[in-house]
């Protein structure tokens, strides 16, 4: 039985990845941080409590990583832990670099010294590309990285560290450059779930309008359930290397709003208010990923479409909000 250790196990992706790995026979271990309200922290993995084993730790605390790796001796390490909100990263830049870059360095050092036979996955991000776009309108592995946020910068450093540790120490360490992925478990301060929740509240008469930032930026939105399956394929490829995971389609935030409000028989133009608070000091305007390689070489295929994913999120909020 293979053993997987997941940092960020209680996050959106960590919860889907745990479910997927359990379903294919893995033993699943996870690192969680201590928080003052523990119920808030574990709601995404509540149903898995008997099946997974979690340890308190923090990727900025090297000693805690050493202890967990020594105890678990995993075959696969998935580093999903991060300060993952781009706009918040402008407000806490050093904290973001500390967790998302130096935290990864701590993990790589511990991995190299304690369990170098394991395989390592790093949750890299399309935010690393910033506003670079190839002439055909896609981003791919060869697209230059010009990040536009402290978060993007932090992920570029981590990406380079993973490449360096792979080359220098012959480790099976890979980066998955994942484009935006969502689900009903997405934090409600990310735009998809914020729009869906806000629109349902308006539909149910609980709210009069919804405040958003930039409506013109485009994102390539997939489903977390599909993307965690890609993470597993990446680690189970014989050669460690980097991959792009994306749908290859993009939409603007305005198009997202139009779809969601339309499904609820509302006109978004009557309810959306722009608030400067949600505009970023520098905006990444356009993301569309070329995932042809992972489809051709590893057989990855998403099951969800944009519409089925958003419909699932709407259905959940319609049931949740009375």
The interface mask with ligand NAP, positions 43-62, x = CB under 6 A, is ---------------xxx--
Residue ranges in 253-272 that form contacts with ligand G4F under rule CB under 6 A:
253
Count of chain residues binding ligand NAP (CB under 6 A): 27
Alpha carbons 292 and 157: distance in angstroms, whole number: 25
When CB distances are held under 5 to 8 angstroms depending on the partner's kind, the choice from ligand NAP, ligand G4F, none that residue 290 binds is none
Among 3, 4, 5, 10, interactor with ligand NAP by CB under 6 A: 10
The interface mask with ligand G4F, positions 193-222, x = CB under 6 A, is -x-----------------xxx--x-x---
Among 54, 96, 101, 125, interactor with ligand NAP by CB under 6 A: 125
HSE-CB for 45 with a 13 A CA cutoff? 29
CB 290 within 8 A of CB 138: yes
Active site residue 125: yes
The interface mask with ligand G4F, positions 273-292, x = CB under 6 A, is -----x-x--x---x-----
Give the CA distances from residue 217 to residues 87, 117, 280, in Å, rounded to whole numbers and listed in that order. Answer: 14, 42, 11
Q: SS3 for the chain, per residue?
A: CCEEEEECCCCHHHHHHHHHHHHCCCEEEEEECCCCCHHHHHHHHHHHCCCEEEEECCCCCHHHHHHHHHHHCCCEEEECCCCCCHHHHHHCHHHHHHHHHHHHHHHHHHHHHHCCCCEEEEEEEHHHHECCCCCCCCECCCCCCECCCHHHHHHHHHHHHHHHHHHHHCCEEEEEEECCEECCCCCCCCHHHHHHHHHHHHHCCCCCCEEECCCCCEECCEEHHHHHHHHHHHHCCCCCCCEEECCCCCEEHHHHHHHHHHHCCCCHHHCEEECHHHCCCCCCCECCECCHHHHHHHCCCCCCCHHHHHHHHHHHHHHHCC
Alpha carbons 141 and 174: distance in angstroms, whole number: 13
When CB distances are held under 5 to 8 angstroms depending on the partner's kind, the choice from ligand G4F, ligand NAP, none that residue 86 binds is ligand G4F
Among 119, 181, 203, 288, interactor with ligand NAP by CB under 6 A: 181
Q: Could you say whether residue 223 binds ligand G4F (CB under 6 A)? A: no
Q: Could you say whether residue 123 binds ligand NAP (CB under 6 A)? A: yes
Among 54, 84, 106, 149, interactor with ligand NAP by CB under 6 A: 84
Least Cβ distance, residue 265 to ligand NAP (angstroms): 29
Q: Could you say whether residue 86 binds ligand G4F (CB under 6 A)? A: yes
Q: Could you say whether residue 12 binds ligand NAP (CB under 6 A)? A: yes
When CB distances are held under 5 to 8 angstroms depending on the partner's kind, the choice from ligand G4F, ligand NAP, none that residue 228 binds is none
Least Cβ distance, residue 269 to ligand NAP (angstroms): 27
Least Cβ distance, residue 215 to ligand G4F (angstroms): 6
Active site residue 169: no
Q: Could you say whether residue 19 binds ligand NAP (CB under 6 A)? A: no
Active site residue 18: no
Residues 6+ apart with CB under 8 A from 32: 9, 10, 41, 42, 54, 55, 56, 57
Binding residues vs ligand G4F (CB under 6 A): 84, 86-87, 125-127, 179-180, 189-191, 194, 212-214, 217, 219, 253, 278, 280, 283, 287
Binding residues vs ligand NAP (CB under 6 A): 7-8, 10-14, 31, 33, 35, 41, 58-60, 80-84, 99, 103, 123, 125, 178, 180-181, 187
Q: Which residues are catalytic?
A: 125, 127, 151
């Amino acid at each position: 039985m293979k053993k997987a250790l997941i940092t960020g196990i209680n996050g959106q992706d960590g919860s889907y990845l745990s479910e997927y790995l359990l379903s294919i026979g893995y033993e699943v271990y996870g690192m969680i941080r201590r928080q003052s309200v523990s119920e808030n922290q574990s709601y995404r993995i509540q149903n898995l409590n008997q099946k997974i084993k979690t340890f308190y730790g923090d990727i900025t605390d090297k000693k805690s990583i050493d202890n967990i790796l020594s105890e678990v001796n995993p075959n696969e390490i998935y580093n999903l832990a991060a300060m993952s909100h781009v706009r918040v990263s402008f407000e806490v830049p050093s904290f973001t670099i500390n967790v998302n870059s130096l935290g990864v360095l701590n993990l790589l050092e511990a991995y190299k010294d304690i369990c170098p036979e394991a395989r390592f996955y790093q949750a890299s991000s399309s935010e690393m590309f910033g506003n670079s776009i190839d002439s055909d309108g896609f981003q791919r592995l060869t697209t230059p990285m010009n990040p536009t946020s402290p978060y993007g910068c932090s992920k570029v450093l981590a990406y380079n560290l993973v490449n360096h540790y792979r080359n220098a120490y012959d480790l099976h360490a890979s980066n998955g450059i994942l484009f935006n992925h969502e689900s009903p478990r997405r934090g409600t301060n990310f735009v998809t779930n914020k729009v869906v929740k806000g629109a349902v509240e308006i539909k149910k008469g609980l709210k009069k309008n919804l405040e958003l930032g930039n409506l013109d930026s485009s994102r390539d939105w997939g489903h977390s359930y599909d993307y965690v399956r890609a993470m597993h394929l990446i680690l189970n490829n014989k050669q460690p290397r980097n991959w792009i995971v994306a749908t290859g389609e993009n939409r603007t935030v305005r198009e997202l709003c139009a779809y969601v409000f339309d499904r609820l028989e509302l006109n978004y133009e009557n309810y959306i208010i722009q608030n400067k608070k949600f505009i970023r000091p520098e905006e990444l305007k356009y993301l569309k990923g070329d995932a042809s390689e992972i489809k051709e070489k590893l057989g990855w295929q998403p099951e969800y479409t944009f519409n089925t994913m958003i419909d699932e999120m709407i259905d959940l909020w319609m049931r949740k909000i009375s």
